[in-house]
Amino acid sequence: MSAIIISGTAVAKQLRAELALEVATFRESTGVTPHLAAVLVGDDPASAVYVRNKSKACETTGLNSTLHRLSAETTQEQLLALVTELNLDPAVHGILVQLPLPRQINSQVILDSITPLKDVDAFHPENVGLIAQGRPRFLPCTPHGVQYLLAASQTQVSGAHVVILGRSDIVGKPLALMLLQKGPAANATVTVCHSQTRNLAEITRQADILVAAIGVPEFVKGDMVRPGAVVMDVGINRVGEKLVGDVDFAEVSQIASAITPVPGGVGPMTIAMLLKNTLTAARLLTESL
């Protein structure tokens, strides 16, 4: 048996088309064009590609975007000064500081300095708290992309056992909170596994839905997956010239009932959700004027 391939590319394209209409309607009624300010520090090639893709997606969806490129030697004070400037700029609705940051900069200090109303990554503790309490202002982009793909593929999430591999602040932790909530594409029983988890394969084999977000190329093998499970691969790892996920696609696609590919799975959804959050931020900031 071969799994259904859940195309994030196709779902994200549809979502971006819907967002383009919403952005146009918003602009007509308010005169405001949602504007994302992206900040890239240093010259990590993968980060440069991600940020460029985010800016491009803004353009094609009718949002404004500005890219602030800073050198790898930027100090924490210099970056804080830029964030403060963007916080105060009424023409900027969303602020994204691409991670990882160079080692001389404390990421937590920078992320905490972004005003929560412009925090389109939903990394600020105030926004994380709102997510935990089930009343989100913004949903974090990658977890929201995973949840949206589960709904789009008509995967039953309510009552399902979701096993998440990885406890990062960007994916694992917020996704666990979101799928635990009452509501559509949620109400799951959630287990979060990590590097210290004992008998990992025993747990992953109990998953109705398995989410891999650990950043280890092709970590999830066929014998870790229950036949018929739905597998969401959040990993993007460069191996030589090739991009591979955290799931061994060749093996697992023979066992799962549905699976996201890499590339073309969760990745494009992350970008679409960033656009959605930038529109939400523009709405919030325009309504509060």
Q: Does 175 interact with ligand GUN (rule: CB under 6 A)?
A: no
End-to-end C-alpha distance for the chain, whole angstroms:
56
**Which residue blocks in the chain are alpha helix, DSSP H?**
8-30, 45-61, 76-88, 107-113, 125-132, 141-152, 172-180, 200-204, 249-252, 266-287
Stretch binding ligand GUN (CB under 6 A), from 6-14, 20-28, 94-102, 174-182: 94-102
Q: Does 99 interact with ligand GUN (rule: CB under 6 A)?
A: yes
Stretch binding ligand GUN (CB under 6 A), from 13-21, 74-82, 91-99, 278-286: 91-99
Interatomic CA distance for residues 79 and 64, integer angstroms: 22
Q: Does 253 interact with ligand GUN (rule: CB under 6 A)?
A: no
Interatomic CA distance for residues 158 and 62, integer angstroms: 35
Residues 6 or more apart whose Cβ sits within 8 Å of residue 164:
172, 175, 176, 190, 191, 192, 193, 211, 213
- Tell me whether residue 16 or residue 54 sits nearer to ligand GUN (CB atom): 54
Interface with ligand GUN (CB under 6 A), residue total 8
Indicate the SS3 state at residue 85.
Answer: helix
Q: Does 142 interact with ligand GUN (rule: CB under 6 A)?
A: yes
Stretch binding ligand GUN (CB under 6 A), from 67-75, 80-88, 92-100, 227-235: 92-100
Determine which residue in the list 23, 37, 97, 256 makes contact with ligand GUN, applying CB under 6 A: 97
Residues contributing to the site for ligand GUN (CB under 6 A): 96-99, 121, 141-142, 170
Please identify every residue annotated as catalytic. Answer: 54, 98, 121
